[in-house]
Copies of this chain bind each other. A is one copy, B any other.
Amino acid sequence: MKTISENTCFGGVQGVFSHASEATGTEMTFGLFLPMEAQEGPVPVLWVLSGLTCTHENAMTKAGAQRWAAEQGIALVFPDTSPRGEGVADDESFDMGQGAGFYLNATKDPWGHYQMWDYVAEELPALLEGQFAIDEARQSITGHSMGGHGALTMAMRLPGRYRSVSAFAPICHPTQSEWGRRQFTAYLGEDEAAWARHDATLLMTKTGFDGPLLIDTGTADQFGDKLGTEAFARAMAERRQPGTLRLQKGYDHSYFFVSSFMEDHVDFHAQALWS
């Protein structure tokens, strides 16, 4: 593993590291914030999954999460959103290919490197546990947009792994969205049965999440018609899923929205992680 940078930040350290990933067959880069408390022993960790076009860097520099993670004594992991580099398939549009891995394991050509489910759910946690003062028994997960999709699907499909889940303007129903159908067709093929495991609304109907859940989405989200918030809300209500879905007046899809509610989300996870 290579250390790209380490910056003191809110009394802890914001690091950026890269390593050769077996899952993706590429060099992968991630950000890791360790609070001061990590010098004394393992700390709980909050996974922060990012959205379309993002690298490991966007949430790390714009979401303002370190302030609250430092206060709560929690680590933050910022994975990349896809494999990258020469030889990695890409697409001209911003919502497919590099920067748009959709947190799944692609089964179709030419997307063989796109194994972001395995990378985020298996390989990176194992790597972190071995190298850093992180307590694998205390993990939670959040994400923005496509990263919200990743957080919700991982939380529901890996029961017992995450103590709490939250999302900012998540893609909730990709099997019925422009942000999903084209990408799932490319990555997973035409068989829509294979898509269902990556649709938070369908997973909510089928299994739900055994723990606290928080979602914030802005009423002025410019991509609101692609998110499927209505379908997810209905599925939550039908299931009687404990949780909170907030529609935030006037907020859009940007990091100005994400940062505005980051304190709430980190505090929400801290309550689950420290209990």
Which residues of A does B touch, CB under 8 Å? 7-11, 14, 61-62, 64, 66-67, 218, 220, 249-252, 254-257, 259-260, 263
Instruction: Report the copy number of this chain in the oligomer.
Output: 2
User: Which secondary structure dominates where chain A touches chain B?
Assistant: mixed
Cα(A252)–Cα(B6), bound, Å: 10
- Determine if B8 and A218 form an interchain contact, defined as CB atoms under 8 angstroms apart: yes
Cα(A259)–Cα(B61), bound, Å: 10
Interface centre among A61, A66, A255, A256 (most CB of B within 10 A): A256
- Determine if A259 and B8 form an interchain contact, defined as CB atoms under 8 angstroms apart: no
Q: A260: shortest Cβ distance to chain B, in Å?
A: 5
Hey, which chain B residues are within 8 Å of A220, CB to CB? 8
Q: A38: shortest Cβ distance to chain B, in Å?
A: 14
Cα(A62)–Cα(B255), bound, Å: 10
- Determine if A260 and B62 form an interchain contact, defined as CB atoms under 8 angstroms apart: no
Q: A61-B62, A62-B62 are in contact. Are A256 and B8 (CB under 8 A)?
A: yes
Q: A61-B62, A62-B61, A64-B64 are in contact. Are A259 and B9 (CB under 8 A)?
A: yes
Q: A155: shortest Cβ distance to chain B, in Å?
A: 27
Hey, which chain B residues are within 8 Å of A62, CB to CB? 61-62
Cα(A252)–Cα(B10), bound, Å: 12
Hey, which chain B residues are within 8 Å of A260, CB to CB? 8-11, 66-67
